[in-house]
């Protein structure tokens, strides 16, 4: 039988210092800065849309951009909060009011377009899909790497919120580049792309987190 003192000395001899995680707020700020730099670089390379000055002057445009950005910020904060075991699952609800405000603004724009023109002005815009998915997936992978410590806790919700955050921020960047006036097209292509990135993150994000943790 091993004496208690000997057991304690044996265990203490192999102890490695534990690096404390940064706070969720600091991690969220770091990721958001990285995401904004990536999207900002894309905006600089592609150039701003020709009517950006006129569009920004419209109150509804400012509201839509603000609510989309707030959705991304809130989703990022919620993801890093949920990555900790002692945080409430209710953090997942943080981006819901901002996303609802963004969607309701687009819905109101759809009804306005319908009343003015008699149509929703739907069309194809695969450029939107490529931009949001193309940038959203790598940013989601970065989020999964930063939250890899949550691989055994809530990997699905954390990854999905990371995908939502990435896609929402990408949607804001795309609005500064791509010319889409019809609210229905923005809802269809931006909203559809965000749903795709979020679902992909939910499905494959936990695997990325487990690989990163290993």
C-alpha dist (Å) from residue 24 to 33, 75, 103, 107: 14, 12, 27, 33
Where do the domains of the chain lie?
Answer: 22-213
pLDDT at 190 exceeding the cut of 80: no
Which token pair is 122?
A: 């739907």
Mean pLDDT of the chain: 83
Report the number of secondary-structure helices (H) and strands (E) in the chain.
9, 0
The reported pLDDT for the residue numbered 160 is: 95
Residue 70 CA to residue 78 CA, distance in Å, equals: 12
Residue 51 CA to residue 61 CA, distance in Å, equals: 12
* Arithmetic mean of pLDDT, 177-181: 68
Q: Which long-range contacts (CB under 8 A, 24 or more apart) does 86-95 make?
A: 87/24, 89/154, 89/157, 92/157, 92/161, 95/71, 95/161, 95/164, 95/165, 95/168
pTM for this predicted structure? 0.83
Looking at the chain, the whole-number percentage of residues with pLDDT higher than 70 is 82
Element (H, E) at 159: helix 155-177
C-alpha dist (Å) from residue 132 to 138, 139, 167: 10, 10, 6
C-alpha dist (Å) from residue 76 to 15, 28, 109, 113, 175: 33, 6, 27, 32, 20
Band (pLDDT 50/70/90 cuts) for residue 171 is confident
pLDDT at 156 exceeding the cut of 80: yes
pLDDT digits (tens, 9 = 90+) for 71-115: 999 999 999 999 998 999 999 999 999 999 988 877 665 555 555
Residue 192 CA to residue 211 CA, distance in Å, equals: 28
N-term to C-term CA, the chain:
35
The reported pLDDT for the residue numbered 124 is: 58
Band (pLDDT 50/70/90 cuts) for residue 26 is very high
Which token pair is 175?
A: 């609005």
The reported pLDDT for the residue numbered 105 is: 76
């Amino acid at each position: 039988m091993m004496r208690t003192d000997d057991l304690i000395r044996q265990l203490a001899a192999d102890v490695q210092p534990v690096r404390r995680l940064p706070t969720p707020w600091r991690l969220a700020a770091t990721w958001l800065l990285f995401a904004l730099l990536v999207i900002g670089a894309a905006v600089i390379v592609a150039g701003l849309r020709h009517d950006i000055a006129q569009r920004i002057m419209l109150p509804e445009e400012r509201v839509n951009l603000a609510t989309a950005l707030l959705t991304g910020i809130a989703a990022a904060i919620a993801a890093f909060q949920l990555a900790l075991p002692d945080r409430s699952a209710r953090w997942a609800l943080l981006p819901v009011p901002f996303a609802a405000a963004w969607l309701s603004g687009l819905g109101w724009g759809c009804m306005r377009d319908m009343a003015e023109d008699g149509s929703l002005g739907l069309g194809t815009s695969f450029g939107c899909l490529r931009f949001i998915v193309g940038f959203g997936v790598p940013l989601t992978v970065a989020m999964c790497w930063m939250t890899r410590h949550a691989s055994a806790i809530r990997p699905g919700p954390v990854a999905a919120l990371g995908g939502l955050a990435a896609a929402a921020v990408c949607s804001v960047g795309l609005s500064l580049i791509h010319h889409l006036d019809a609210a229905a097209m923005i809802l269809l292509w931006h909203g559809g792309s965000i749903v795709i990135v979020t679902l992909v993150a939910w499905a494959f994000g936990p695997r990325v987190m487990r690989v990163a943790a290993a």
